[in-house]
Chain A
Amino acid sequence: EAQVTQNPRYLITVTGKKLTVTCSQNMNHEYMSWYRQDPGLGLRQIYYSMNVEVTDKGDVPEGYKVSRKEKRNFPLILESPSPNQTSLYFCASRTVNQETQYFGPGTRLLVL
């Protein structure tokens, strides 16, 4: 089944404790992206990657890091999480020739 998977789906952590949210897609998509969803703000793009070893900032990159060493994986790293990073996070992917993005199921993060 073609899909985007994210792990973990739910995470509670404390301020300052480094964490990684994984994202993997099995559709051989070149493009991958991370978004955060907050009430009243919609989805906001954090980082995106047009292909392996190519990443770029979205609208809200502060406090996040990403890497794209393999085509199928695009992990989101929070080196020192803070409470304002409590949110619902989505990973998405698409081919470079089509604009339709396929979203993962989301990761709900709570930073205490």
Chain B
Amino acid sequence: AQTVTQSQPEMSVQEAETVTLSCTYDTSESDYYLFWYKQPPSRQMILVIRQEAYKQQNATENRFSVNFQKAAKSFSLKISDSQLGDAAMYFCAYRSAWETSGSRLTFGEGTQLTVNP
């Protein structure tokens, strides 16, 4: 079974600065997807960014980018120019690319990000 680990329960950053959230995962599969979801106080889960394991290029979405290290099974999220609205719980998630493995998302424990003005 796949596992996802986020070792930083809490992180803080100054507004306009850059912060990196860490995530590691364990899998025996070669093809999969990785995600970062944001959960603000409203508790809605919002997809931030997605990475396909077969792609070597790191995904980027505006101020959000990832550092995907497949051999190390590491998937960190970098938030540049942090804004007050970025304050939220961030979850790393894994999904197999194989239909026979199902399409469930496996989540990490989450990292609570505080943005200080």
A and B held together in a complex: no
